[in-house]
Amino acid sequence: MMSKEKIIFRTDWITVKETARGYHYLERKGRDSVAIFLIRKSQSNNGGYEVLIRQQPLCIDIPDINQEHRLYPCPITGGIDAGESPEEAAVREVHEEAGFSVQVLPLGKYIGGTQTNEMCYMYYADVTDIEPEIARQDGSYFESISHNEWHPLDYLNECDYSACQIGYFRLKSILG
């Protein structure tokens, strides 16, 4: 016999449920995402590669009033919109956040959230000698305080974000 769960509260993104035994839990709607590594040949790093790092706030690290957000390093990231393929989302996010119009190459995928079965699709693009347009961004506050920085490729191995570390090893095997 299946136990009945009661929905206590629901939004587009979360549902609070009560089990038949009275336990409450939160169920979050998953959303697949993309992580894109923009690389370029370095003129100052003995011909090695650099990677574009996006310094952006982490949603769960909301500071008290009148304090600044701490920024975290990651590749270009974003959610996949309804009706959009992961590759289309990657191209859109790169243009939105960094101003580059590129074709992306697959770098693999990983499970971003086991409780919601969220997938993160990873891509990369070599932007050596490509000049970006002005990044339009999405108009959100978080994007307005984020910024991009170029770092040596090895910087990815120091980041806490799992996509950075996975991307680092996959890029190293591709780039040699």
The reported pTM is: 0.80
Kindly tell me if the per-residue pLDDT of 54 is higher than 80.
Answer: yes
- The Cα 64–Cα 61 span in angstroms is 10
Q: What is the mean predicted confidence (pLDDT) over 2-29? A: 81
Which of 7-11, 30-34, 61-65, 142-146 is predicted least confidently? Answer: 61-65
pLDDT of residue 87: 98
The predicted structure's pLDDT at residue 166: 92
Between 64 and 33, the more confident residue is: 33
Alpha-carbon distance values, 169 to 58, 128, 139, 155, 160 (Å): 24, 20, 33, 12, 14
Q: Where in the chain is the domain with CATH 3.90.79.10?
A: 31-175
User: What length does the chain have?
Assistant: 176
Q: Strand 33-41 vs strand 118-126: parallel, antiparallel, or unpaired?
A: parallel
Share of the chain above pLDDT 70, in %: 88
How many angstroms separate the Cα of 31 from the Cα of each of 67, 88, 153, 163? 29, 15, 28, 16
Q: What is the pLDDT of residues 76-135, one digit of tens each?
A: 998 899 899 999 999 999 999 999 999 999 999 988 766 667 889 999 999 999 999 988
> Which CATH number is 31-175 given?
3.90.79.10
pLDDT score, position 114:
65
pLDDT recorded at residue 2? 55
Q: Per-residue pLDDT for 59 more than 80?
A: no
Q: Is 145 left (phi over 0), alpha (psi -120 to 50) or beta?
A: alpha
Quick one: 31 exposed, middle or buried, by C-beta within 10 A (0-12, 13-18, 19+)? middle
The mean of the pLDDT values for the chain is 86
Look at residue 115 in the predicted model and tell me its pLDDT: 62
